[in-house]
Amino acid sequence: MGLVIGRYAAVTDPGRRRRHNEDSYVCAPPLFAIADGMGGAQAGELASRLAKTAIEESAGGAVDEDGVAGAIQSANARVFERALQDPSAAGMGTTATVALVDEREAMVRLGHVGDSRAYRYRGGELEQLTVDHSLVGELIRSGRLTEDEAAVHPHRSVITRALGTEPDVDVDMTSTDLAPGDLLLLCSDGLSAMVRDADIARVVEAQGLDPQRAAEALVGAANAAGGIDNVTVVLVELVEGEPGERRVASPVSEGEIPDTSELERTEEDVARHGAGKGSRWPALLLVLGLIAATAFVLWWSFLA
The 10s digit of each residue's pLDDT in 200-241 is 999 999 999 999 999 999 999 999 999 999 999 999 999 999
The pLDDT-based confidence of 242 (bands split at 50, 70, 90) is confident
Which of 130-144, 155-169, 205-219, 235-249 has the highest mean predicted lDDT (pLDDT)? 205-219
Considering the domain architecture, whether residues 291 and 209 belong to the same structural domain is answered as no
- 253 and 267 belong to one structural domain: no
Question: pLDDT grade, residue 140 (50/70/90)?
Answer: low
- On whether both 170 and 273 belong to a single domain, the answer is no
For residue 250, give its domain range. Answer: 2-258
Instruction: Give pLDDT, residue 142.
Output: 66
In the chain, how many domains are there?
A: 2
| 248-282 tens-digit pLDDT | 555 555 444 433 233 232 323 222 222 232 322 33
Region 122-129: what's the mean pLDDT?
97
pLDDT at 153: 61
Here the CATH number for the domain that contains residue 231 is: 3.60.40.10
SS3 readout for 172-224? EEEEEECCCCCEEEEECHHHHCCCCHHHHHHHHHHCCCCHHHHHHHHHHHHHH
Final residue belonging to a domain, choices 242, 258, 274: 258
Q: What is the pLDDT of residue 130?
A: 97
At residue 146, the pLDDT reads: 67
Specify whether 210 is located in the same domain as 174. yes
Most confident of 35-49, 129-143, 271-285: 35-49
Q: What percent of the chain has pLDDT over 90?
A: 64
Specify the pTM: 0.79
Q: Are 278 and 247 in a shared domain?
A: no
* Co-location of 34 and 77 in the same domain: yes
Q: Are residues 147 and 294 in the same domain?
A: no
**Domain match, 153 and 59 both:** yes
Report pLDDT for 282.
Answer: 32
Same domain, 164 and 283: no
Is there a single domain that holds both residue 172 and residue 296? no
Same domain, 152 and 285: no
Query: Are 240 and 279 within one domain?
Result: no
Q: What spatial distance separates the first Cα and last Cα of the chain, rounded to whole Å? A: 92
Q: What is the mean pLDDT of the chain?
A: 81
